[in-house]
Structure 1
Amino acid sequence: MKIVGISACPTGIAHTYMAAEKLEKTAKSLGYTIKIETQGVKVENILSTEEIQQAEVVILAVDKEVQTDRFAGKKVKRVSTARAIREPEKVIQEAIDGVEVTTIAQAEHASNESGKKAGIYNHFMNGVNYMLPLVIAGGILIAFSFAFGINAADPSDPSYNQIAEVLSTIGGNTAFALMVPALAAGIATSVAGRPGFAAGLVAGTMAASGGSGFLGGMVGGLLAGYATDYLANKVTVAKSFAALYQLIIVPLISVAVTGFAMFYFIDKPISYVLDALTNWLNGLGSTSGVVFGLLIGIMMAADMGGPINKSISTFSIGLMSAGVNAPIAACMAAGMTPPLGIALASILFKQKFTQEERTSAQSCWVLGLSYITEGAIPFAVADPLRVIPSLMAGSATAAAISMGVGVTSLAPHGGIWILPIPNVLNNPLMYVVAIVSGTVVTALMLGFLKKSRTEMEHQPTDEGKLI
């Protein structure tokens, strides 16, 4: 049995490679030949035409749109990356047995497989995928500019430094300014394909300049996408007029409709909501901050890079454009503690982990310190009823402390590595206290809840599986 496939998640980082690894190891343990193309930060392990032709089954472990034209005539099983990580053997068996598979008869859009279109969540995640590089690069460049002094980018300030000004211009005035337009354009493109890009870009730019920010960009991106999709893909025109229609009429009407809707119906109401939300968040006392922090922590650890985690982290990133920088600090603290807690627990409670788990946990130190929450996923998959509550308790602790004492971060990513950069964190000591506290709580919870597994180490296991 020869299997080929693709793995791809919206951000192209952890889930993409973890899904591929799980499918490959499981298939090999079952005696099958398999090759998975990973469409992550770059496309790797690319499938050749010959490999696709020889394959009997195609598995798409994807959370975003991928091109499927080359799989015409093949049986295709489409699942999420999370399911491929969680149930690789079942996914492979279903693909072989023809359970919920689709045969691609001709070139078609990936989102139309199985008769289903991508949902709103997928559209939002596509927008986040467009936005994230700008957020990360822009935020860290801004953070570097503050290393020269909090006002070093201002030519009128005594601490002025030209390098700081350039870093601030690139990161804040340019990359961060493109954050909302990229979000809206990505959403619109996910809905309507390439024709939706222009209207989505207009919607996002109007949202950024008009005050409705990321919320307005999300709504405007959907509007631009569906309006363009209707015009470009649903309206039938004479073939002799089609080229002119797609080139001129579609962008003209979609941009105009989106722009008018943003100006009269979307931007101002959402601006009021965002302003109210911003004022409320800025006015949170320590008690309210702790409660909000608990919610952030629980959501960050609930699915470790899945929809719930992405929702609160995207929300917190969006708040940065409104000058609210405490939630993103809490998100980072909460996102770091799951892998760190597992790594610590594997040392303190060795009898609760197999040798394979203890070896895997060593990488969690680096993953956790780098704010890559997904490092905890294999352990959560192996023992969800005990591990996930432990992770949620630790993340909630970390985020509650961070929000309660008002830690803010001017960088949206970077984990512990932003600590040496001056002025990025307003309270680096409490940031460390929050992370350490969450890590310890996670480790102690794991030690209390997990059963001893030392006696299981010598039992035979399938390759790549945690007992």
Structure 2
Amino acid sequence: MKYVAVTACPTGIAHTYMAAEALEQAAKAAGDEVLVETQGSAGSTPLPAADIAAADAVIFAADVGVRDRERFAGKPVVEASVKQAINDAAGLLGRAKDAAAEQPAGAHEPAGASESAAEEPELASKVVAGTGFGTRLRQWLMTGVSYMIPFVAAGGLLIALSFALGGYQITDAPPVTDTFDAASLVSWAALFNQIGTLAFEFLVPVLAGFIAFAIADRPAIAPGFVGGAVAVTVGAGFLGGLVAGLLAGAVIAGLKRIKVPRGVAGIMPVVVLPLLGSLVVGALMFVLIGKPIALAMTALTGWLTGLSGANAALLGALLGAMIAFDMGGPINKVAYTFAVGGLSIGATASLEIMAAVMAAGMVPPLALALASAVRGKLFTPAERASGRAAWLLGASFITEGAIPFAAGDPLRVIPSIVIGSATTGALSMTFGATLRAPHGGIFVTPLVGNPLAYLAAIVIGVVVAALAVLFAKQLGRPAVEQPAPEAAAAVPA
């Protein structure tokens, strides 16, 4: 069998490439061939059209919308999350084989091979597994979040740098277009702050625009951006952006179903659909939907601002536990998206939530790296090798570094890291550590508010999780058998 696959996760950093590697290894073990297109944060190299045409089936292992799906029109398609591909790549290949066997005779046309295929993009999903509405909704939302994250990262880091160089009063600096002195540190701080602030103003429109794009492709981008901009104007914020994106996607998807004369069809995607979609979405957001959402955002902001003491610690513990539970999966992404979305609010509590989530996300890989280094006999040689890599993964806020340990011993590992991450999240919120950067791990510590307490929260959580793992592994299971001396010599350091 020959397969082509696309893998994509919201951040495009770890799961995207882990899923691709799992599929490649499973195909090799089965004697099959798979070519994978990784739609990661660094971009992607599209699969050659000839390879798509020759494939027996297509696999989409993605938590976000797959770009340019129309290339695969006419092929049997199987869809799954990236975590399913990582955990059960062989099973996913089996589903693809079954889908290929069910393909009707004569339907195996290459994408774009005929005019009818180009006019009927729904052919791309005639044989699809696991694509219910809930899965689609999560993919749409995660697509918007994945495109928003670079703006959050750029804007947040620039604003944090401006505060580090010029203090919090730098927000009152005059526009740099009027007064900028290249020899003045304060001028540079003001420049960073004003660029970062402008980058933050794109967050909600970008979120809405690419949610709409995931639903109804390129004609929906303009209505989505317009709806997101209206959400900012009326004060509906992050929640308004979510609603505007879904609304824009639904409106364009509905308009695309209207049959029009062939002479008009050519201008529909670039003129008519963006025009009508922007008008409908903008009007609904201004007149009907925006204000109620703005009231909800005001209530959310007031709740976050009022968090203190036990309530803040409880929220930090909950978010920390969610981050650790599935190590980059859907529950992890819910907590992370909540934290990133809060950055657009700008409240101090929102910055504390971002700090707690990132600190908690570093704990699982670091804790397992520490545990495997301290008591190596409780871990397999493969786990000890993974532990050495987990130091850097954990420090970089790549929670997926804990997956190799959890896959081999989930009942002992997962509860232990959940306890450690919950501890760190609660302590970080209690200490009042703040962070504007949505990623970067330990390397953005200079931009953290109250950095010593922040690091202390991470260290305590790592120790708690490592002790819990070591204790759990000694319950009801003997130590891992060590290789004989001559075999051990063959194991690479």
Shared topology, TM-score over 0.5?
Answer: yes
Query: SS at the partner of 1:322?
Result: coil
1:141 alignment partner, one of 158, 162, 180:
158
Provide the C-alpha distance between the structure 2 equivalents of 1:196 and 1:371, rounded to a whole number of angstroms: 33
Q: Which residue of 1 aligns with 2:87?
A: 86
1:340-383: CA deviations, max 9, x gaps? 11111111221221111111111111111111112112222222
1:193 alignment partner, one of 217, 231, 236:
217
Amino acid corresponding to residue 24 of structure 1 in structure 2: E
- The reply to whether residue 341 of structure 1 matches residue 367 of structure 2 is yes
Alignment size in residue pairs? 453
Indicate the larger mover: 361-370 or 181-190: 361-370
- For structure 1, the residue ranges without an aligned partner over 5 or more in a row are 459-467
Aligned residue runs from structure 1 range 37-52, under 5 A: 37-44=37-44, 47-52=47-52
1:320 alignment partner, one of 334, 339, 343:
343
Q: CA deviation at 1:8?
A: 1.8
Q: Which residue of 1 aligns with 2:226?
A: 202
The alpha-carbon distance between structure 1 residues 202 and 58, as it changes in their structure 2 partners (threshold 3 A), is closer
Q: Which residue of 2 aligns with 1:441?
A: 464
1:154-174: CA deviations, max 9, x gaps? 4369x96221122112212x2
Amino acid corresponding to residue 363 of structure 2 in structure 1: T
Q: Which residue of 2 aligns with 1:279?
A: 302
Q: CA deviation at 1:453?
A: 4.9
Query: SS at the partner of 1:237?
Result: coil
Amino acid corresponding to residue 92 of structure 1 in structure 2: L
Structure with greater contact order relative to length (CA < 8 Å, sep ≥ 6): 1
Query: SS at the partner of 2:331?
Result: helix
The alpha-carbon distance between structure 1 residues 243 and 46, as it changes in their structure 2 partners (threshold 3 A), is closer
The alpha-carbon distance between structure 1 residues 45 and 217, as it changes in their structure 2 partners (threshold 3 A), is closer
Query: SS at the partner of 1:41?
Result: coil
Q: CA deviation at 1:45?
A: 6.4
Indicate the larger mover: 383-392 or 217-226: 383-392
- The reply to whether residue 171 of structure 1 matches residue 196 of structure 2 is yes
Amino acid corresponding to residue 320 of structure 2 in structure 1: G
Provide the C-alpha distance between the structure 1 equivalents of 2:102 and 2:42, rounded to a whole number of angstroms: 27
- The reply to whether residue 311 of structure 1 matches residue 329 of structure 2 is no
Q: CA deviation at 1:215?
A: 0.6
Q: CA deviation at 1:111?
A: 7.7
The alpha-carbon distance between structure 1 residues 318 and 145, as it changes in their structure 2 partners (threshold 3 A), is same
2:436 alignment partner, one of 410, 416, 420:
410
Q: CA deviation at 1:18?
A: 0.3
Asked whether the 8 Å contact 1:140–1:413 carries over to 2, the reply is: no
Asked whether the 8 Å contact 1:57–1:74 carries over to 2, the reply is: yes
Provide the C-alpha distance between the structure 2 equivalents of 1:441 and 1:320, rounded to a whole number of angstroms: 29
Q: Which residue of 2 aligns with 1:267?
A: 290
Query: SS at the partner of 2:300?
Result: helix
The alpha-carbon distance between structure 1 residues 198 and 110, as it changes in their structure 2 partners (threshold 3 A), is farther
2:235 alignment partner, one of 208, 211, 234:
211
2:249 alignment partner, one of 225, 239, 254:
225
Asked whether the 8 Å contact 2:323–2:421 carries over to 1, the reply is: yes
Q: Which residue of 2 aligns with 1:181?
A: 205
The alpha-carbon distance between structure 1 residues 321 and 349, as it changes in their structure 2 partners (threshold 3 A), is same
Provide the C-alpha distance between the structure 2 equivalents of 1:367 and 1:209, rounded to a whole number of angstroms: 39
Provide the C-alpha distance between the structure 2 equivalents of 1:73 and 1:241, rounded to a whole number of angstroms: 26
Q: Which residue of 2 aligns with 1:18?
A: 18
Provide the C-alpha distance between the structure 2 equivalents of 1:144 and 1:274, rounded to a whole number of angstroms: 28
- The reply to whether residue 127 of structure 1 matches residue 151 of structure 2 is no
Provide the C-alpha distance between the structure 1 equivalents of 2:193 and 2:313, rounded to a whole number of angstroms: 32
The alpha-carbon distance between structure 1 residues 258 and 348, as it changes in their structure 2 partners (threshold 3 A), is same
Provide the C-alpha distance between the structure 2 equivalents of 1:99 and 1:245, rounded to a whole number of angstroms: 34
Indicate the larger mover: 377-386 or 69-78: 69-78
Indicate the larger mover: 125-134 or 160-169: 160-169
- The reply to whether residue 155 of structure 1 matches residue 173 of structure 2 is yes
Residue identity over aligned pairs, in percent, reads: 45
Q: Which residue of 1 aligns with 2:277?
A: 254
Q: CA deviation at 1:51?
A: 3.9
Query: SS at the partner of 2:201?
Result: helix
Indicate the larger mover: 241-250 or 336-345: 241-250
1:208-244: CA deviations, max 9, x gaps? 232111111001111111112211x111222233345
Aligned residue runs from structure 1 range 340-359, under 5 A: 340-359=366-385
Q: Which residue of 1 aligns with 2:7?
A: 7
Provide the C-alpha distance between the structure 2 equivalents of 1:62 and 1:411, rounded to a whole number of angstroms: 25
Amino acid corresponding to residue 250 of structure 2 in structure 1: Y
The alpha-carbon distance between structure 1 residues 244 and 426, as it changes in their structure 2 partners (threshold 3 A), is closer
Provide the C-alpha distance between the structure 1 equivalents of 2:94 and 2:483, rounded to a whole number of angstroms: 27
The alpha-carbon distance between structure 1 residues 4 and 452, as it changes in their structure 2 partners (threshold 3 A), is farther
Asked whether the 8 Å contact 2:57–2:99 carries over to 1, the reply is: no
Provide the C-alpha distance between the structure 1 equivalents of 2:436 and 2:269, rounded to a whole number of angstroms: 43
Query: SS at the partner of 2:253?
Result: helix
| TM-score, normalised via structure 1 length | 0.89
Asked whether the 8 Å contact 2:356–2:424 carries over to 1, the reply is: yes
Q: CA deviation at 1:428?
A: 0.9
Provide the C-alpha distance between the structure 1 equivalents of 2:344 and 2:60, rounded to a whole number of angstroms: 35
Asked whether the 8 Å contact 2:74–2:123 carries over to 1, the reply is: no
The alpha-carbon distance between structure 1 residues 65 and 352, as it changes in their structure 2 partners (threshold 3 A), is same
